Structures are given as structure tokens and as C-alpha cells.
Amino acid sequence: MIRDMQLGDAAELTGLMGELGYATNVDQMTDRMKKIQLREEYKTFVWEEDDRIHGMIGMTHSLAYHDDRSHIRVIAFIVRAGERGRGIGKQLMQTAENWGAEQGAGTIQLNSGNREERKRAHEIYRYYGFQGTATGFYKKL
């Protein structure tokens, strides 16, 4: 079932972040989750079954300079490796789209790494209706 993220999810979400290639620990994840929960423009949904979190989607709702309507930006999206192919990701993405529509957003966007292991994810995003229209850049500050 899909529900809102709770602070008690930190350990499970730490594991999912690891699957995405982002090394973190439970204390760091808990701290991030606390900060995110304080911000109304952020939303995180998890997919839980039998007391295990098998997927999550985290996003932010923000205004745009190039459009009158706001947009949703997916920041984190993952389904546990052993649970893929069950429709969990599709359900999470649909929930995110519904939340975005409730916020009055006109678009939903996401970035994904240009790595070989991400090619399958890119196919799935296209299947969900996303178009690869931009190239993202990243720089540490």
C-alpha cells in the first residue's frame, strides 16, 4: 500500500538510497527526513507491504520562471531490486502525478544519471509518458 513517509521509515529508506548509489546511514537519513517533513513543498510516498518498504518517491513542488504553472520535480524514485516488475513504480509515479495535480502543477519532471545501469529506468520513464528533453548538469559547491 502507498502511504506518506514517516520518520520510522529511516532504516528502510537508507537501504533504498544505497541501491541508488547514495551512501548514507540511518542517522543521516533521519535528519534529512525531519527537515523534509517540515517543508510543505516536499512530499514523499512509500510503498509498504508486510512491514517492508519496497519503493519510494520523493518530490518537491515549485514555481517556474518559464511557465505560469508550477511543476513537480522528482528528486528520488526507487523500487527495491527484488520487487521490480510488480507495478510498484507505476503506482508510486501515479500517486506523485495525482499529488502534483492537486497542487495545481502543470508538469512533472525528473533527472536520471547517464549511466549504463540507468538505461532500463530510462525506458520505464518513457513508458510512463516522460520525454527525454533536457540534459542535466551537476556541480559541487
What is the predicted pLDDT for the residue at 34?
97
pLDDT reading at 113 higher than 80: no
Confidence bin at 116 (pLDDT 50/70/90)? confident
Q: Which fold has domain 2-127?
A: Aminopeptidase (3.40.630)
What is the predicted pLDDT for the residue at 95?
98
Domain boundaries, the chain: 2-127
Q: Give the pTM.
A: 0.91
pLDDT, tens only, 60-110: 999 988 899 999 999 999 999 999 999 999 999 999 999 999 999 999 999
As a three-state string, the secondary structure of 100-141 is: HHHCCCCEEEECCCCCHHHHHHHHHHHHCCCCCCCCCCCCCC
